[in-house]
A and B are shown apart, each in its own frame.
Chain A
Amino acid sequence: MAEKKYFHALQILDDNCTGCTACVRVCPTEAIRVRDRKAAIDENRCIDCGNCVNVCQFHAIIPRSDSLELINKFKFKVAIISSSYAGQFSEDVSYPVAKQALLELGFDEVAEEAYVTNFVIRIIQDYIQEHKEIRPILSSNCPAVIRLIQVKYPSLLPNILHLEAPMSILTRYIREEIQRTKGFKEDELGVFLIVPCVAHVTAVHQPEGAYKHLQDGAFSMGMIFGKVKDHIKKIQNNPGLIDTYEKGLTWALSGVEGEMVETPEIRTLSVNGIENVMEILSKVEDHYLDQYDYIVLRSCTNGCVGGCLNIENPFVAMSRIKKLIKDAEPFDFDSSDLDNLYKEGEFAVVPLAPRSIMELDKDIKTAIKKMKQINEFLIMLPGLNCSACGSPTCYALAEDIVQGKATIDDCVVLLKRHTKEED
């Protein structure tokens, strides 16, 4: 099989990296190694969860997102905001003002992921009822979870909801709507996402699965936050009239999405945090969770509000969004066009291919041989799992040695012991 290049929205700045191995230890797919005192990411294993970004104290792992100047290439610029955006501001800033600030920033229109929440919930429910032979169905919105399944739980790929994600559906809707009503040509119209996490930046640049409608760029919440705050200060005392759709903000919170999909016929489970997600996927593999019809899986704490590009703490952001939802007026987003497109099968997506990288070897006998060698090295290693060698655990180092990517001399502890013996 030809090696495919995977795009990742992460960049390691060698000048800042001290080789401390904090990132090595938190990576759920063991994708990072420190060699020659610098961290390096294995592109085949990385799922863009952003754990390493959160843990790096030296700003050596930088999320890659597009530069804001990019929007100037287009005549008409649309920003689509992730629902978690609403939770990022202090309570004296109203949501309409926060949304208006993006218009001031240079966008001609700001659309909310929240517009399509009700529509998406409806089509998810329909999909679940139409696919009774598959249980449980796994949510497809979180790109990090999808990549995790491709890498570590490939047997669960058929369980993924094969429908486009809200941001993707909305992108298509906006492109058609604006070209029709405002007369812009395809290449004059730029659609951009304001995203809470690295995985969504990756999804824009390498769309797969639930993300099939390409946007023109993705901006990190953190990157634009300063500028947005400046504009908020300017407009706060004299805000314009901006429509907002608070009732649809539920998408940012994994627990609430589950509650909304749930009906007397559909039993749901909501899971967030990558460690929890892995435990649940392992149980799904063994058919211990077949009693659930739908499982909402989000890599970050509390869902998208926990994304590593956000500003606010995930619990505070969640509480703010819940308040906005509670206080909001009910709204009606006319989704009859979308309903028709759904009926025509327009939002179906192609099945994803596995990225099986966990196997030691394609041949089972060779794989067993390698595992035997790994165990032999493991006995020699100190078992401290200190990561000082640059591999996450002693087991991972043993594996790296057998795969020819490290030597036993990389073990600092053994080296020290040998030096003492020689003295």
Chain B
Amino acid sequence: MLACVAVKSSMAEYWNIDPAFEEAVNAFISKKPEAGVVLEFEIGERDFVNSGKGSAEVKNTLKRLGIGPEILRRIAVASYEAEINVTAHSQGGKMESFIHDELIHIRFTDKGPGIADIEQAMVPGFSTADDLVREMGFGAGLGLPNIKKNSDALHIVSAKGEPTTVEIFIFYGS
């Protein structure tokens, strides 16, 4: 399958797509349409004070566009969890939200240190969070499973020692 980001051969790739959206996601990826609205946020390493502001902004923007409350909630939860992940586990990165006519595509890119085993990271309860992160009330090992549960498609590219890219696709009509 064609991915939205270039995948180095040494990197592991993970896809989870709701079968109902497989065709739509593939069509979207091959077409690479230009987004109507793009929102960008820097995410600082361990910056828990500002973490969550990016996803809040995305939610407020989508509200202005008239996206229904249930879809809005799924987008808000998935993007918030992913934003927290970048804050808690990476050396910082960015969040880019591409708002299209029928879906939102959110891409998180960080500066490493990468996920050693993506399949293991997807297991509910598995966490590599350290004490500081746990003290902040995070690190329950539910971040990625929650993102998976709330998105129509989830794409992760990573490897130990490499940057990680997490992409979320959620259709407004899902």
Interface residues of A (CB under 8 A from B): 152, 154-155, 282, 285-287, 356, 358-362, 364-365, 367-369, 371-372, 375
Contacts and interface: CB of A to CB of B under 8 A. Distances in A.
Interface in B54-107: 56, 59, 61, 63-67, 69-70, 72-73, 76-77, 80, 99-101
A286 B37 contact: no
A1 to B, nearest CB: 14
A285 B73 contact: yes
Nearest to B55: A286
B72 A359 contact: no
A368 B99 contact: yes
B56 A285 contact: no
A356 B63 CA distance: 10
Contacts of A287: 73, 77
A367 B61 CA distance: 10
B166 to A, nearest CB: 19
A360 B66 contact: yes
Given A285-B76, A368-B36, A372-B37, A360 B64 contact: yes
A29 to B, nearest CB: 13
Contact of A367 (B65, B70, B77, B100): B65
B172 A364 contact: yes
Contact of A369 (B36, B59, B64, B72): B36
8 nearest A-B pairs in the assembled complex, by CB-CB distance: A155-B69, A368-B36, A359-B66, A367-B65, A286-B76, A371-B37, A365-B101, A372-B36
B66 to A, nearest CB: 4
Contact of B63 (A358, A361, A365): A358
A375 B38 CA distance: 9
Given A282-B56, A286-B73, A286-B77, A361 B36 contact: no
Contacts of A358: 63-64
Contacts of B59: 282, 285-286
B77 A364 contact: no
A359 B65 contact: yes
Contacts of B63: 152, 358-359
Contacts of B69: 154-155, 285
A371 B65 contact: yes
A237 B44 CA distance: 66
Interface string B35-47: 0110000000000
Given A155-B72, A369-B36, 13 more contacts: A155-B70, A356-B66, A359-B63, A360-B66, A362-B66, A364-B66, A364-B101, A365-B101, A367-B65, A368-B101, A371-B37, A371-B99, A372-B37
Nearest to A152: B63
A375 B100 CA distance: 15
B69 to A, nearest CB: 3
Contacts of B101: 364-365, 368
A330 to B, nearest CB: 40
B36 A359 contact: no
Contacts of B61: 371
6 contacts: A358-B64, A359-B66, A360-B64, A365-B101, A368-B65, A372-B36
B76 A364 contact: no
Nearest to A375: B37
A154 B56 CA distance: 17
A276 to B, nearest CB: 15
A126 B65 CA distance: 38
Among B64, B70, B72, chain A packs the most CB atoms within 10 A around the CB of: B64
Contacts of B80: 286
A241 B36 CA distance: 71
A360 B64 CA distance: 6
A320 B136 CA distance: 37
A371 B80 CA distance: 22
A359 B62 CA distance: 9
A362 B64 CA distance: 10
Contact of A360 (B65, B72, B76, B100): B65
B112 to A, nearest CB: 29
A255 B149 CA distance: 36
A358 B77 CA distance: 21
Nearest to B76: A286
A35 B64 CA distance: 24
Contacts of A360: 64-66
Nearest to B66: A359
Contacts of A286: 59, 73, 76-77, 80
Contacts of B37: 368, 371-372, 375
Interface in B26-40: 36-37
Given A282-B59, A372-B37, A367 B73 contact: no
Nearest to A279: B56
Contacts of B100: 368
A155 B101 CA distance: 22
